[in-house]
Structure 1
């Protein structure tokens, strides 16, 4: 029997090999045809001299291969040819193609070098090697179902090379032949291995089909046995009824039929044993209710019959039956006992010894009734435990409900990955209804016209076949037109013998989640106002440029851009107008930076550009100038044209650094320098800027320590009254007594303090020390001394100045008339109304207000009229140029204007007698300068005051 099976298997394998080779031979012939054309074209293209033999070979080969391909296609269709005929035809095709290729190789290798001087042996070796390797590769790919097919091609093909080793030993290279022979042997071994693999796979497929058919036959036999068992059970019931009737007849014919009774009893016993066995196998518990005699017999799971009183059995049932099932059971029993139903049948729950409920199916029939009254006398039946069956049914119903209601696509595949069931949600995802899906392969309903899609599907199938599971996320397009991002999870279901019988697949639609992720990614990486990358994405991308080894960017520039005077313009335009301006600025930057690597909106009006530097691009200077030129065109905001200028700061990689933060800081420093110069300019980072910045940082740190350690002191420069040449007062000037560097003049730290909140702290200290010094002078009898203190815009705007003045006046008990506050014109530019209110409050305290550095700022005469100014102070830059006609005219006009407006006029910076005489001739009120004294410390100022109560005459 085993030999017959082996023979059938061998026949099947042989037929399958021939069928598969017939299918692949078409591809092989097409491949050989292409290889011959390619070889022929190469020779014709590179070598002009033609050969009749080589051309004839190409024509014969092309015609022969085409003919064999046509014959194979027309006469050897699937399932329509004899395997034996196909075998002969395949051998013929293989032998013919091998001979044709061998002829071509011989012509290339032996003949063409001899007739064509340009065609060397090296060229012959290349083209003949190409032809033999290509033909061997295609034979190895398509003709290894049987080794004989491969050999019929391979042997003739290699004969020219073998012949060259035998007959051309003098011209041959032994190493080349060794390598060639080794490659040919390897090809032969590979062909044999592949043939064995194909044979094993075909055999396994045939055995699997045989096993499948045997399993189906076994299942059919099992169904037949079950039907026979049911028939036997029905027969047993009928026999039992017949026996009961016979028992009544036997009582009358005992003596006459004793032999027959014994024989029937013997048959009955045998059938009873069979019935008990069937009951035991089927889990049936027969019962017999003798209504007339009021007793009940029941057989338990161990086939032990127990007889109890009917009343006791009824009470026992009432205690064991579930309360919800008692009414239904009684109703079914009454209907049958009264003859309303053909048989009694019901399902209810019983309680076992472990006090757990289990389901039973109870069926029975009255087999004996009173002939006259029709009352039932005897009833028999069968009780069957159906708890497991009921539980399985509930689980199946629950599983079916879950499958129907699940919010994920679920499908079931057979072992061939074909659909056998789907749920409604999968129909919704795929766009096909259930009938259109069932029976198709897993990816028959998806688009496969792109190589990437086919590759992905093949990868999934391969992984399922190897690991029996797959779980991943990818984009899928269905033939219904739906294109979704899904998560696919497929796992195999195996039987008790670990054989795969089904695959369960779950498909989750991730499209909306992916869209949300894209939206979140956009919000995280892009500015929604300008639609440009934000600071986070800018830093990330710049970091990638710095660390990536793949990009060939060797040098680039970081350009930081800032809109000049954006803050006041934004307040004028309101928020909507400001946003529209930023959008238009971003759009114009986008259009002018198409060559840039990256463009980003960092925040507010701050933008950044990463620009690659190379010899094929315009320079950074030209690029920045092009941006500035583009911004010369007005921006139309809410119907109004606005000219916008930009400040730009540039740093270079790698000249200025190789770290992200450092490069950004360099560009920011250059931008700050451009802003400091008034904007609308381009500044490049330099090391000097860094040194100045570092000095500023260190200076700010030391200045904060100086304020905490009381290192700031006040110097006093005298002011002289022109009229009586008496000391009018002093100007308080702050100095920094550094513990290491000594006295630091104010021009070294005041500009830095004005950029921070430190100027307010310094001003408070000066006011306090000045008030204290005035108190000391008052105690010494100098009652009419007025000391002026310089006040900057920040002190006026922060709202702390009035409190500082009140605290100083109250603490040192001095008069407000002893103080004079010197403010600059720039302090009056912004927030004019609030500044005016503060100055009015100062005037209420009888403190004098002086306009310092008049003529060097905005020089608006409206300040003199609108603000409560008592004193007009002419700047030293005008006084120093007295002697020049134009400058003297300006000074004369200033003095005359101050006099006309009833103000006291002070001239500072007087250093020569000429300057003094000229100002005195103009009837200027107060003089101040080095001609009288330099700024003096507290003690020196007191000595000066004591010595010069009666000043000498400078005439």
Structure 2
């Protein structure tokens, strides 16, 4: 800021302070009138004792305040007064008001309590403090434009309080004195702060006025520069027109005035250089460097010229030029200043001080004057042009060219006659032609157009592009280079501003490999890779076509479902590779023996299906099945060993057994199941008598799903008796279905159906939770040693939810794992033995006992007893029921002895007679259960049985007898 500007702002601030104080002091005087009147009225109303001095003070104060207000309003109108007179008047006015306020405080605080006994000291203090606080508050509001105005009114008014602290030391309240002194200091601080705020506002207002004046001047300069620029442009146009006229005149007289033309050409070149420089300066930012005086004049973004010191300018350039470009900038400038280059020219990045972004600029300049003696430059001029957008455009062009070169699709550019003018390398690779061989040729000149159909396709494409200005489609093309491809071509027309087609751009993708992959995927989707036969999806689709699309031509069909007998144990014996080889050979033999079949498919595993048309010209279905059976009488050589394989076949007929795909397949599957039930190696033909059984099964499954949702399944409990202490060891939980219409349905009717679906897992989960809930009830009744066993099927072990179900049941009901026992059949150990073993160890870690159920009825592999963490061996009822037969007794005896030897608890189920009970006791069997003691009981009856028969007296009497 210059000294002139500082003086201007100081003067404006002084003027504004006096003007604002004159205007606001009128409100201050009015507030003095009001507060004095208010105090006078209060005293007269509540303390009617008259006081001459108080009345005199009130009249003088009111008259003086009114007089001051009249003088300020009448003689000091805005912009019609002298500043010095006004300043002195305000000072006189503030000092007088301060003295009158001090007199009023003295009268109220000291005089009135002395002459009026009813006017106490506290009341005097209150009214005097009110006078002081209100007047100083208004003074703080209206008199802080200058701090001395406020102090002239404030300092005299606080004199009575300050004097009283030193004169009446014993009578004064020290706490009040401290408080009032602190309040005076705060008032002074507030006045000082308010004064600084008013002063800052006045200074800002003055600066704004200066900025407005400067802005108006800059606008005037800008207008002047624009006018000069327009004049230069008009002058340039006039020169250009004159040049054109001279050129025409020179052409007409070229033979006559050769020498003159050469001279004028020289003049034209000089003028052209001036014109180019004028055009560059016209739209850009010129700069002028006075090297001698070390001053530089530059034009900013608003076309405003500013001048600064050269050193300051160079220091600023050090910060705004990109660090990578600063050396290049300096070198270019030095080269020109030292006369190594005719002119200075540099391209560098400049930082935008507002956004902080880097913009590319092109800087051009030239030394226009040098010192005659030393030849050192004294003045240099130039222009700086923003080329950031041009650089971006150039980079985009380079990027577009790079994309065109490196694109993984063929790209070509045609002229309006469909002739090649440019292609990318990938298109050359697709067509087999080089760039030079393609340029100038017609679009389809490089393809084989020998066939009429191909020429028609090409003509249609060109017509479509001309009409719709685009084409998008798949083509099978054979190029003259010898390549034959399936391509996807997309052509678009490029138009000019008048919507006229100028070029065509095409993009070509090679679909050859994609087509091959689609064929491979189609094969993988519809065919089994192991047997090379159609899979289940393609089988269902093709059979549906035969049933629907061709139902008029094919009158009767036979659907034959085939399954390899005892494939699972054989597959385990042969291992996976041997099993796969067996399936391949089975598929090959079926393919050879079913040449007349409409369709042969491998559905899954060891399941195959044949669709055979029934016709009078073909062998019957019975003959066809016999031929298949005969073909399989020959052994299969697998891994060097001969194996004899038999088949089970189920046959259903269309339309006798069904006209819909699903129903016909279900009939064939049911027939196959019946063939398997007959022992295999046979053919079973579906009969309508089994339809009702199938429908009952379907309805039963639907009802069972609803039963689980409606909580119709209940748990019964059959007691288990401990031989040693004659106590009830526990119960076995058995599920029953309380059907709302059919009553109690035994498990033998719905458990096999549930095992074929996921319902068995839902039922198992329900039994576990209900059993845990009942154990909790018995524990609360005091029966803490009761152990209840729950049957677990293989599906529950494989699905991976068993541990979660057990943990939830134990956690929710707060029972111990020792109260639970899981009964698992031998068949559950056949698959995933490692996984099952790990699962059983996890169960054991929860203190849950594991029982091997129905021992002796399955595979009876002794390795299960050694490998798996089994605690209890449960002898199946089929062996117990035949006690009395020598062979069966030997088997039971061996089972119990083996279990004892391995440290297991032995349980016998199905006890119904005294003879069975006595025999098992002699063999030292641990636990027994059966109808001899009790049938399975509902929850309430099982609890009652537990309460009455904690010690089974009937058992004791029976044994003794």
Give the shorter-chain TM-score range. 0.3 to 0.5
TM-score with structure 1 setting the length: 0.46
